[in-house]
Amino acid sequence: MSNGKSYFFVGIGGSGMMPLAMILAGRGATVAGSDRSLDRGALPAKFADLAAKGVTLFAQDGSGVTSAEQIVVASAAVESTVADIVAAERVGAQRLSRPELLASLFNASTLPIGVAGTSGKSTVTGMIGWILHACGRDPTVMNGAVMKNFASPDAPFASALVGAGEAFVSEVDESDGSIALYAPKIAVLNNVSLDHKSLDELRALFGAFAAKAQTTVLNIGDAETVALAKSLDRAKLVTFAVEADADLSAHNLAPEPFAIGFDLIADGETYRVRLAVPGRHNVSNALAALGAARAAGVPLSEAIAAIAGFTGLKRRFELVGEAAGVSVIDDFGHNPDKIAATLATLHAFPGRLLLFFQPHGYGPLKVMRAELVAMFRATLGPEDRLVLPDPVYQGGTVAREVTSADIVAEIGPRAHHIADRADAATWLVEQARPGDRIVVMGARDDTLSQLAADMVLQVAASLS
């Protein structure tokens, strides 16, 4: 459905836009785009990679949108006053939102596999994609994060995989309600917890999504998901849980600093599984992926052998470097559940935690205020330190009703607000001593990875 069409992506460097553009380019479409980061000269390697894939890049000044034959794709964050949107209106180009375009590709595939839930979507999507790829199924994969298994010097930003097989594996976003557009044959539901919307809204969205599928792989270790399951046809469910009875269950967890092993019990059989990614939450993610792969026709034993080779995603508990006895970890944690899972994984081993958390917007900060405060108060160790700069702001109008300073005031003396991001990072580095783990957390800002890498160098200079 994409051959011969011409697409223009407004904000093509975004984590949800770039892989979609790569899939279309890989299928033979003409793809162009613009981005504010490109105009600022930020993240040049990302845009060089897009150019190498045949994508034509323009300044975000309307110059790239010139024909009614173009399909102009933009995320909800792009306002109507942006020059490219003004140009699209002027020339009469068709407009599509990012989820509308993704859903059209997803729903048109022979085997659409949708991964939903408040946390773990990108990891489960990467795990399923890797299993299907390793088992010769040649899937197409749409992810919001770079999949290390598919990354290489020639493909450093491998957040998408273009395959010729039946499966189209994609994470499905609930934050803007667009999950309603997708019609999966296999649906995965990891969990339901507070993030961008109220729990009542999330329950309705996730419930409708799960009900559409021929098979729904569902986490009954999550109370909200258990409640949702009661409204679904049990014959269509594959359940999973960590240390609880389910169709796929994990027991005897053996954590390591950057890996974990467990016993998988399924169909009365026990299999030993070892993952090259750490944490109880990744055991749950692995169960979800194994359930989906089996629903897609991959024998369980083959899927288990394949998942052992999954090496993780960029910015998901990624060890960036070590200097002077201090480790620096880059992590996508941005809501209470994700952050708590990262801290639980780290607290299983010795060492103080120095946490840098950049909230991913003023809106989400308002929604999650009470839950974030409660989570940090409960999970920060006595010697841990937390610093919050101001939230991500990428232009446009936004109400600043709740700020980082408000969150810090409610957490207490282990938390600090330093408005400027660079100053906050420097302050945290100055606290470091051998044995500490520095963790950089946040979403919607790809430059956080560079910040984490810079902090390794700062630690080396500070403690040398």
Query: 116 pLDDT exceeds 60?
Result: yes
Q: How far apart are CA 17 and CA 10, in angstroms?
A: 9
Give the pLDDT of residue 174.
Answer: 76
Tell me the one-letter amino acid at 277: V
Per the structure block, which two tokens stand in for 365?
């900060």
Give the pLDDT of residue 354.
Answer: 97
Reported confidence tier of residue 398, pLDDT bands at 50, 70, 90: low
HEC sequence for 362-386: HHHHHHHHHHHHHHHHHHCCCCCEE
Reported confidence tier of residue 369, pLDDT bands at 50, 70, 90: confident
Give the pLDDT of residue 1.
Answer: 45
Give the helix/strand (H/E) hosting 329: strand 326-331
Give the pLDDT of residue 395.
Answer: 62
Residue 314 near residue 145 (C-beta atoms within 8 A): yes
Poorest-pLDDT segment among 112-116, 177-181, 345-349: 177-181
Query: 341 pLDDT exceeds 60?
Result: yes
Q: Please give the backbone phi and psi of residue 305, each rounded to the nearest 5 degrees, phi first.
A: -65, -40
Place of tokens 């770079």: 146
DSSP state letters, 141-210: EE-SS-BGGG-BTTBTT--EE--SSSEEEEE---TTSGGGG---SEEEE-----SSS-HHHHHHHHHHHH
The verdict on pTM exceeding 0.75 is yes
Query: 196 pLDDT exceeds 60?
Result: no
- 47-77 pLDDT, tens per residue? 999 999 999 999 999 999 999 999 999 987 7
Q: How far apart are CA 460 and CA 54, in angstroms?
A: 39
Query: 456 pLDDT exceeds 90?
Result: yes
- 265-317 pLDDT, tens per residue? 999 999 999 999 999 999 999 999 999 999 999 999 999 999 999 999 988 88
Residue 192 near residue 118 (C-beta atoms within 8 A): yes
Averaged pLDDT, 147-161: 92
Averaged pLDDT, 410-414: 94
More confident of the two residues 355 and 229: 355
Averaged pLDDT, 216-245: 93
Give the pLDDT of residue 161.
Answer: 96
Poorest-pLDDT segment among 131-135, 211-215, 331-335: 331-335
Query: 194 pLDDT exceeds 60?
Result: no
Place of tokens 């399909």: 71
The helix/strand/coil state of 29 is coil
Reported confidence tier of residue 368, pLDDT bands at 50, 70, 90: confident
Give the pLDDT of residue 195.
Answer: 57
More confident of the two residues 367 and 29: 29
Q: How far apart are CA 414 and CA 409, in angstroms?
A: 10
Per the structure block, which two tokens stand in for 212?
């559409």
Query: 403 pLDDT exceeds 70?
Result: yes
Q: How far apart are CA 228 and CA 15, in angstroms?
A: 29
Please state, as a whole number, how many other Cβ atoms lie within 10 Å of the Cβ of residue 283. Answer: 25
Averaged pLDDT, 416-444: 94
What average pLDDT does the chain have? 92
- 24-40 pLDDT, tens per residue? 999 999 999 999 989 99
% pLDDT > 90, the chain: 75
Averaged pLDDT, 152-167: 93
